[in-house]
Structure 1
Amino acid sequence: MINGRKNSLKQLSLPILLVSLLLLTMNMHGNYSAATGFGISLTGFQDTTKPRTDTIPNKTDTIPAVRDSASIRSKDSAAIKSDTFDVKMSKDSLDAPVHYAASDSIVMDVPSKKVILYSKANVKYKDMDLTADSIEMDQQKNEVVATFRRDSAGNIIGRPKMIQADTKMDADLMRFNTKTQKGITQSTITAQGEMFVQGEKIKKISPTEYFAARGIITTCNLDTPHFAFRTPKMKMVSQKLAVTGPIHPEFEGVPVPIYLPFGFFPLSQGRHSGLLPPQFTASDQFGLGLEGLGYYKVLNDYFDVILRTNIYSYGGWAAFVTPSYRKRYRYNGSMNLAYQSTRILSNDAKQEFTTAQTFNISWSHTVDSRARPGQTFSANVNAGSSKYNQYVTNNPMRNVQNNLNSSITYSKTWGTRYNLTASANHNQNNNEPALINMNLPNVAFTVNTFYPFARKELIGESKWYEKLGVGLNTNVANQISIYEKDFSLSKLIDTMQWGAQHNIPIQLSLPSLGPLQVSPGISYQEKWYSRKFRRNWNKLTNRMDTSIQKGFYTARDLSFSLGLSTAIFGKFENFGPNSPITAIRHVIRPTFSISYKPDMAAKDYYTMQVDSTGKNFYRFSYYDGTIFGPFGEGQFGGISFGLDNNIEAKVRSKKDTTDGGIKKIRLIDGFGFNGGYNFLADSFKLSTISLYFRSTLFEKINITAGANLDPYKVNDRGYRINEYAWKGGRFSPGRITNGNIAVSTSFQSKPKDDKKAKEKEDQFNNNNLPPMTPEEQMEQMNYTQQHAAEFADFNIPWSLNISYSFSFSRNFKADYSGFETKTNSNMSLNGDFNLTPKWKMGMNTYYDFNTSAIQMFTMFISREMHCWQLSINVTPVGPIRTFNFTINPKSGILRDLKVNRTRYFYGQ
């Protein structure tokens, strides 16, 4: 008998299990931070319960295990025999890899096929990304459970968060089935576009459908929202809609006694058709009204349209049709067709109501430059009745807009030499009497300067004649001017005139003569006219009579010139070591040219008496009032001169330490004068002197100014006489006949948060939108005023913008009896400041010094309420005075859920 130790199955199972666990975990990292595939090691690659059968007995199998079939040649047979076996996947295998990680530990329970991740656990499966403090994965049940934990102070750590497709979800507990894509969560918050949905329990029954019990819907992104809609049950279709049972609103957790039998909330993103709710208004002139009632219709991916209407109890109404279209990388545009039937209480005791029918058409179109290289097309149309803007309600900026402008332009370029531009322009002055000017079509053809004698292949230095350049500029225009009250087809034809202008510049580039640049040139111009304009003094009526003669007329002009230019630099650096200024630099750029122009326009001028005294005469041209105007009469043989200056300084900067702390600033951007002297003229040899000045003081104050200086005296009626102003015993450089100056500046406080200010600036700079037209800017400004709280920047405690302009000119009186000086002066002011960190107040005003009155004044007060906004807009001065109070959510989905009170009245 052999005595040996008995080995039982229980004693052998422990080492076998340890070895198996070692083999399974040998490839894992110590910190468990790397993402690892889950499923292969636990399920095995094949079914090991059945032995593999070798089709070649007593032979060594050299086939790799990863092959399903292989071919080998037997030593005793030339036949090819296949070694095949089936690979069967386990029923509990996953159909995609699972990546998981944890910062603390990973526990793997092999018998129950569970993996538990602790601390900052993360699991990624298909499009699901789940993070939590702890996650348990059960492969047998295909279930994932995520939970949080609390620290010693009771704070939540690692609240489960899941992102799947377009759905984001936070919950206290998440239970998810990887096979059926179903799950249940507790105390859940999920984001659906701008909406936030909270539910005590939410059950997911499909990838896009959810049911919630005891839920709330809000647009406030706080865990405890400022406002919400509470419901006992709800169904959601992700990114589409949410339908609830009985629902009621609550504010700050306090229920509002307003109950609805059901609720419907759209969650879809992008464009979708629907009704546009109106706004209730009340006015002493218009009566009670509903404004903005309409419908938005999406026709296709490229086209949509908005239909709106305003209805008032006194019988007035307005309708608006606004289609818009867009195609990426091709074009985009919008149109607005508006019609107003106005009926307001009259200030005239003879009639009860004042009625008017007005219309307006606006169109904006832009073509992407990448659509057709070498071709561009743009349109900006704004036309309509002269009284239209006066009857637009609740828009003080538009009520004082008296000019309407339109432009449609098409251009095509051939290579780098030829360019064709066709345009149609419209200008309308709505002051009484309203004048309409239309230019259509205008055609411009340009040939850029080319060198006909230059060699195609340059070898050696160029000859002087090879630098001879020739160009061409041709403009053809058609103009119609008519008063609105006379608008008719016959009047249009009668006032229509056309004209053309051709210019052929010839230039020659000569080598520099040291610091001097020499530029000779020849210019030939020709103009075509469709009418002559003749003035005659009527001795019977003692007034000027005018007559028009239609036909085809031409005029020509020729000039020769030789120009010299250079630049002179000066610097002053003798400042003390403690002076904030280190250097001042002055650059002078004088220009001088000699030119000759024969008198080819003498036949186009005549002398006519202009008053009843018979002593005052004036030279007129037959082509005054034409599109391109007449050429100047008289021959010119003389000089033209000019002097341009700019001044810069280098200062020591305490903040900017780059370049040794030295910063360059501009003191004066430019100032100087231009003029000429004609040696061949029999009188008035010295031309008027053009003066200009421009500067940006302290990098804050922008100043531009200009004036014309006439060096000759005038008689008692204001007509020039051939005598210099400085003759006669007193020195005078001359008379300023017209001038202008504009000053603007803006100030604002330092941002409270520089990071937020930088992000806002970057967002604005990176917004690659096409430039807005003036009308679009006006509409955006109006929207900003109506929703001031939405645009109020509380990060800037205060800001102030000021601009002032002044201009004057001397013109003929209407009866030609002399001259009169007309001035125009106005100032605009706008700004805002924070009353408190959450209250902001602002204003915008326009003051006309000619009338000594404020033409427009508006002010607003806004309140930052996190997810809500409050704004109060008041216009106490203007054609239409308004008061508007609005409180509504910031979210675009619930913006029409607002409290609004608007009052306005029209001042005639």
Structure 2
Amino acid sequence: SINQINDASALVNTLRSSISYSKTFEGEPQVNVTAALTHSQNTQTEQINMSLPNINANISRVYPFAPKVGTKKGIIDNINLQYNLSAENRIATTDSLFFKAEMFDSALFGARHTIPVNTNFKLLNYLSASIGGNYTEAWVFKTFEQRYDEELNNGTGGIVRDTVNGFQSYRTYNVGTSLGTTVYGTFNFGADKKIQKIRHVMRPSLSFGINPGFDQYYDEYVIPNDDPTAEDEVVTYSKFAGSLYGAPNELFSSAIGFDLSNTFEAKVRDRDTTATEAKTVTLLSNLQFRTSYDLAADSLKLSPMRVSGSIPIIKRLEFNFGGTLDPYALNNNNRRVDEWNIENGGSLFRLTGANVSMNYSFSSKDFQGDRRDADEITNETFQNGGRPDDLFGDVRTFRDDGAYATEERKDDNDLQKQTRYNFDIPWTLRFAYTMTYSNSIRQNEISSQSLSFSSNLELSPRWTVGVSSCYDFKQKGITRTQFRFERDLESWRMSFNYTPTGAFGTSWYFFIGIKSSVLSDIKYDKRRERDRNL
């Protein structure tokens, strides 16, 4: 599929295909098994990644100490555990080696077992506490030994990396706990006031985690130093580095996390004087502060604080913002140093980055009050956190319009059966504004700023056309425009996407295939790359 979300990803053409099978074994506990074959191919880099196969199995949550009847109470009753298994045969190759014996030389095969154990309980009636841990065991059949060979590079020496085939395994674990509560505060102004009251909801939480170091899975080799007065260099490595699941942590780590979420709501007297109840209006949604303190670090223990929130402006339009505040100062080389920024003559925090976004969408249904109340229209853009990810969507966004025509518009289809042509032409229009500010190394600049729109129009019950474009304020020009055409062939779907402008010129993509997800691999698609002429 051609990704339509943003310019960076849209310029990467990737072919994907997969086939999967899943089975659920009912009972106590329930067992779920999924097996899949996946293929991903980048037409620009000619890189091919495959999983042949990828198997996942899990056993549903089990409460071994809970009573057979009644509710679970206390720390013991709520102890629960699961079991997850993931096994994969991963192949990474290129077009030139595809379907050749060499394709399997770099294949990585292994399995990973994970057992999470958790419990939760109330503390002093007002605090919600949880304790948990994870045990992981990884099995791999290919590892990589390293050694120093003085004879390499004409006697100057070099590192040799040997591939070792055979079963190897390692085991890791980690533990953590969290504590949280909810605090309510209300400011009353009187029932006769326009704003009768404001409610502030705070949800503070503390977390503590320990990740032990597993240096027993690490080895060393020595690089001799030509200077006899200097010490030889000792290099530490893990033979599991580069294996299917990577190497375990070598060093111990432990951190305390802090999170504070805030919501401000107001009770406002309705303009309708006949209304008996005041309406609730959200003033500030999910104003969140998040940071952590690394107990194991020797410096820069406090991580930058992340701040985010959302402000409703008008109906179905929200102003979303986020920023990163760093308490540490920068030296003359713009590197973070273990010194508070305020002690270095600056403010309490440095604003190292920020982002804002606003999304708004409406459709023909907004103007059909007799057929659907506008208050009932849900805006998926806002449900996704106000991010611009769904403005152009992925290919599913455009395909979903076909599903929308066959599923959500059942009432309209009933009308179409009564008439030869429906004069209603459903349409949607979406706008998104995004801006990113960068100041991590004193850039003090707006790194990106754009205004995008996307529109879909159903010319007939089975024909849909769409257009999307984006204006980049930093580059001062239109970065990308795309036209989309889709035909619903009942059991099949046909689409054609044409991009006349872009960083690499024009491109197009044609697709026809079965709509059913079970038979989604029965398809034909053809594309013209962006670096060629149409």
User: By the TM > 0.5 criterion, same fold?
Assistant: yes
- Give, in angstroms, the shift of residue 464 of structure 1: 5.2
| 1-structure distance, mates of 2:319, 2:259 | 21
| 2-structure distance, mates of 1:534, 1:493 | 20
| 1-structure distance, mates of 2:212, 2:498 | 63
Does structure 1 residue 504 correspond to structure 2 residue 133?
A: no
- Give, in angstroms, the shift of residue 522 of structure 1: 2.8
Shift in CA distance, 436/405, structure 1 to aligned 2, threshold 3 Å: same
| 2-structure distance, mates of 1:425, 1:652 | 57
- Give, in angstroms, the shift of residue 590 of structure 1: 1.0
2:262 pairs, out of 637, 645, 669, with: 645
How many residue pairs get matched?
433
1:150-182 CA-partner distances (Å, limit 9, x unpaired): xxxxxxxxxxxxxxxxxxxxxxxxxxxxxxxxx
1:592 pairs, out of 202, 206, 214, with: 206
| 2-structure distance, mates of 1:725, 1:415 | 58
Does structure 1 residue 557 correspond to structure 2 residue 172?
A: yes
- Give, in angstroms, the shift of residue 457 of structure 1: 5.1
| 2-structure distance, mates of 1:549, 1:752 | 66
| 2-structure distance, mates of 1:732, 1:456 | 55
1:664-704 CA-partner distances (Å, limit 9, x unpaired): 23333313233332334434433454444345543322455
Q: Percent identity?
A: 26
- Give, in angstroms, the shift of residue 569 of structure 1: 0.8
1:432-471 CA-partner distances (Å, limit 9, x unpaired): 324333334222222232122334356x996753432222
Return the letter of the residue paired with 1:476.
A
| 2-structure distance, mates of 1:719, 1:503 | 39
Shift in CA distance, 806/729, structure 1 to aligned 2, threshold 3 Å: closer
1:844 pairs, out of 464, 468, 484, with: 468
Equivalent residues in 2 for 1:49-68, closer than 5 Å: none
1:781-837 CA-partner distances (Å, limit 9, x unpaired): 7999xxxxx9995698xx7421244679999xxxxxxxxx9977654214599xxxx
| 2-structure distance, mates of 1:677, 1:526 | 28
Shift in CA distance, 722/655, structure 1 to aligned 2, threshold 3 Å: same
Question: What residue number does 1:666 align with?
Answer: 282
Question: What residue number does 1:857 align with?
Answer: 481
Q: Secondary structure at the match of 2:104?
A: helix
- Give, in angstroms, the shift of residue 517 of structure 1: 1.6
| 2-structure distance, mates of 1:696, 1:607 | 59
| 2-structure distance, mates of 1:447, 1:678 | 34
1:69-98 CA-partner distances (Å, limit 9, x unpaired): xxxxxxxxxxxxxxxxxxxxxxxxxxxxxx
Equivalent residues in 2 for 1:254-653, closer than 5 Å: 402-413=13-24, 414-415=26-27, 417=29, 418-430=31-43, 432-456=44-68, 465-484=76-95, 487-531=98-142, 547=161, 549-551=163-165, 552-574=167-189, 577-579=192-194, 581-601=195-215, 603-604=217-218, 628-653=245-270
1:829 pairs, out of 453, 456, 461, with: 453
Return the letter of the residue paired with 1:517.
S
Contact 1:757 1:795 in 2 (8 A): no
Return the letter of the residue paired with 2:264.
I
| 1-structure distance, mates of 2:72, 2:99 | 65
| 1-structure distance, mates of 2:316, 2:103 | 49
Contact 1:439 1:478 in 2 (8 A): yes
| 1-structure distance, mates of 2:262, 2:15 | 38
Question: What residue number does 1:802 align with?
Answer: 431
Shift in CA distance, 822/756, structure 1 to aligned 2, threshold 3 Å: closer
Return the letter of the residue paired with 1:493.
F
Contact 1:649 1:664 in 2 (8 A): yes
| 2-structure distance, mates of 1:608, 1:577 | 81
- Give, in angstroms, the shift of residue 516 of structure 1: 1.0
Shift in CA distance, 488/462, structure 1 to aligned 2, threshold 3 Å: closer
| 2-structure distance, mates of 1:456, 1:545 | 60
Larger radius of gyration: 1
Question: What residue number does 1:679 align with?
Answer: 295
Return the letter of the residue paired with 1:419.
N
1:700 pairs, out of 308, 316, 322, with: 316
1:725-750 CA-partner distances (Å, limit 9, x unpaired): 555333353574x7765432125689
Shift in CA distance, 454/842, structure 1 to aligned 2, threshold 3 Å: closer
Contact 1:433 1:484 in 2 (8 A): no
| 1-structure distance, mates of 2:20, 2:213 | 37
Shift in CA distance, 695/758, structure 1 to aligned 2, threshold 3 Å: closer
Q: Secondary structure at the match of 1:465?
A: helix
- Give, in angstroms, the shift of residue 399 of structure 1: 9.3
1:24-69 CA-partner distances (Å, limit 9, x unpaired): xxxxxxxxxxxxxxxxxxxxxxxxxxxxxxxxxxxxxxxxxxxxxx
- Give, in angstroms, the shift of residue 587 of structure 1: 1.1
Contact 1:535 1:608 in 2 (8 A): no
1:758-786 CA-partner distances (Å, limit 9, x unpaired): 69x99xxxxxxxxxx954654687999xx
Contact 2:147 2:221 in 1 (8 A): no
Shift in CA distance, 881/445, structure 1 to aligned 2, threshold 3 Å: closer
- Give, in angstroms, the shift of residue 573 of structure 1: 2.7
| 2-structure distance, mates of 1:531, 1:716 | 46
1:182-236 CA-partner distances (Å, limit 9, x unpaired): xxxxxxxxxxxxxxxxxxxxxxxxxxxxxxxxxxxxxxxxxxxxxxxxxxxxxxx
Contact 1:752 1:795 in 2 (8 A): no
Q: Secondary structure at the match of 1:634?
A: coil
Of the structure 1 ranges 641-650 and 417-426, higher mean CA displacement relative to structure 2 is found in 417-426
Contact 1:408 1:425 in 2 (8 A): yes
Shift in CA distance, 822/795, structure 1 to aligned 2, threshold 3 Å: closer
Contact 1:712 1:735 in 2 (8 A): no
Contact 1:653 1:662 in 2 (8 A): yes
Contact 1:845 1:856 in 2 (8 A): yes
| 1-structure distance, mates of 2:360, 2:81 | 44
Q: Secondary structure at the match of 1:509?
A: strand
RCO higher in structure (CA 8 A, sep ≥6): 2
Contact 1:520 1:562 in 2 (8 A): yes
Return the letter of the residue paired with 2:123.
S
Runs of 5+ unmatched residues, structure 2: 4-8, 224-233, 378-392, 405-420, 458-464, 485-496, 509-531
Contact 1:499 1:527 in 2 (8 A): yes
Contact 2:59 2:82 in 1 (8 A): yes
Contact 2:217 2:238 in 1 (8 A): no
1:854-892 CA-partner distances (Å, limit 9, x unpaired): 2443689xxxxxxxxxxxx9986465599xxxxxxxxxx
| 1-structure distance, mates of 2:250, 2:284 | 37
| 1-structure distance, mates of 2:287, 2:403 | 40
Q: Secondary structure at the match of 2:289?
A: strand
| 2-structure distance, mates of 1:810, 1:689 | 15
